Amino acid sequence: MYTLYIPKKIRHKKYHRGHLKGKASRGNKLSFGTYGLQALEPSWIRPEQIEAGRRACTRKIRRHGKLWIRVFADKPRTIHSAGTRMGSGKGAIKFYVAIVKPGQIFYELKGVPKSLAFAALTLAASKLPIKTKIIL
């Protein structure tokens, strides 16, 4: 598990499942960079997927520019082990997810040429399980 993208401390150990309705009202505009990668569909994103996108992006831009990660996996997902009977409470925390709604910005880039930013964000988008749009 990627400890960099999960919370060190949480207020409640187990959360309700929730829903993925609606569009992102926060985090849907560029705040730090000049280029960004925006989600077009709702999903839960695992820390491994966030890290894979970051690695692909930073490898492409090398040491030029700066990259910001705008999503964080802070929702715990609980799962019962296979073959467990009904009842006996909620399962143990298996992994954490980031809730992503349409319009949410994943990554932001600054200080790189437009063509390099497009190439880097295209690579990062290929690592994510949802459709995305590059904001230039």
pLDDT digits (tens, 9 = 90+) for 5-64: 678 887 888 888 888 899 998 889 999 999 999 999 999 999 999 999 999 999 999 888
- What the chain holds in terms of domains, given with CATH numbers, is 44-79+93-135 (3.90.1170.10)
Structure token digits, residue 18? 């929730």
Question: Model pTM greater than 0.75?
Answer: yes
Concatenating the DSSP letter of every residue in 44-82 gives EE-HHHHHHHHHHHHHHHTTSSEEEE-----EEEEEPPT
- Give the pLDDT mean for 100-113: 95
Comparing CA positions, the residue from 36, 57, 28, 50 lying closest to residue 108 is 36
- Convert the pLDDT of each residue in 55-104 to its tens digit: 999 999 988 899 999 999 989 998 888 888 888 888 888 889 999 999 99
